[in-house]
Homo-oligomer: A and B are copies of this chain.
Amino acid sequence: MTIMASSTAIRPEREWNIGWTDVGPFVALIVLMLIGFLINPDFLSATNLANVITRSAFIAIIAVGATFVISSGGLDLSVGSMAAFITGITILFMNRMAAEWGMMAIPAGMMVAIVVGFLCGLMNGLIVTIGRIEPFIATLGTMGIFRALITYMSDGGSIPIDRSLRDAYRPVYFGTLAGIPLPIIISVAVAAVASFILYKMKYGRKCAAVGANEDVARYSGISIIKTRTIAYAIQGTCVAVAAICYVPRLGAATPTTGVLWELQVITAVVIGGTALRGGKGHVWGTVAGAVILELIANLMVLSDFVSEYLVAGVQGVIIIIAMLIQRFSK
């Protein structure tokens, strides 16, 4: 009888999370690496790749957070200055505590960073959800606020980390585990956790639903305010993690720390295949996106034929081409 007939005829669902959007960024990544190699063989040298990928860690980690915010239909322009602010707070705290607690000041400082980051994100979230302000404007505002705070804390100068702590802390950026630089391991870990939350837990579904259609989400008993606020809180926490890896790199927070990171972050997310209007998020794509950006910058320096004046332009062109490749090789 018809029911049986039709339902047996149905072909099973392909495992849904391997569409083009998921491989696209990686294809682009590989293409880029090949081009890079042709331009300058040093490009694929272990040290160079290690350096580049390690550098991309900050953006990657922050962008993973941004994947939540954007997937839930939000946007966060404040991440760059938030990173600077958190770095500043953390260093000040560690320096203060170094005297009494010695090395213990470092883990303590890390905790502080996480807490501050979480709170900053929460603030952003509440302004956007409770305050019902366009995310773009709200976070543009907080961006200014964080930037001002770090400038104020540092008198416009820089907040260097205490000499006594520097060497103990240094490994967090420069150290390696089984030959792999720590920041890479950390960012992979962050991405792994994120993809679990996004693809294997309730919250992830809620995020995507809120981003895709607020009404449907509401009618399914999902609280838009809660979901989106949490997304911002996650973003804040990711920024904190990035800040923690960042401190040992230059050992100081300055008013210029993290300038324009927000643009790189959003670019990474979009290159990664997550739509700015919200919906399903692509964590691993985002990570690939972050690496791609850093590789392009690296390529600019390693190749000789780009006038220093034109670097920005060529980068722009490459990004656009990368996107086009993604689109049309579909």
Contact = CB atoms under 8 A, between A and B. Distances in A.
Interface of A: 127, 131-134, 136-138, 140-149, 151-152, 155-156, 263, 266-267, 270-271, 275-277, 307, 309-317, 319-320, 323-324, 327
Given A132-B327, A323-B131, A313 B145 contact: yes
Q: Which 10 A-B pairs have the closest CB atoms?
A: A148-B313, A144-B316, A141-B316, A141-B320, A152-B309, A144-B312, A145-B313, A151-B309, A148-B312, A145-B316
Which one of A132, A315, A320 has the highest number of Cβ atoms from chain B below 10 Å of its Cβ? A320
A309 B145 CA distance: 10
A140 B127 CA distance: 26
A222 B267 CA distance: 30
A275 B134 contact: yes
13 contacts: A136-B267, A137-B270, A140-B316, A141-B317, A142-B320, A143-B316, A144-B312, A144-B313, A144-B319, A148-B313, A149-B310, A149-B313, A152-B307
A127 B320 contact: yes
Contacts of A148: 309-314, 316
Nearest to A142: B316
B147 A276 contact: no
B312 A133 contact: no
A267 B136 CA distance: 8
A49 B311 CA distance: 41
Nearest to A271: B137
B267 A140 contact: yes
A327 B310 CA distance: 44
A134 B270 contact: yes
Given A148-B309, A309-B152, A309-B156, A320 B276 contact: no
Contacts of A145: 312-313, 316-317
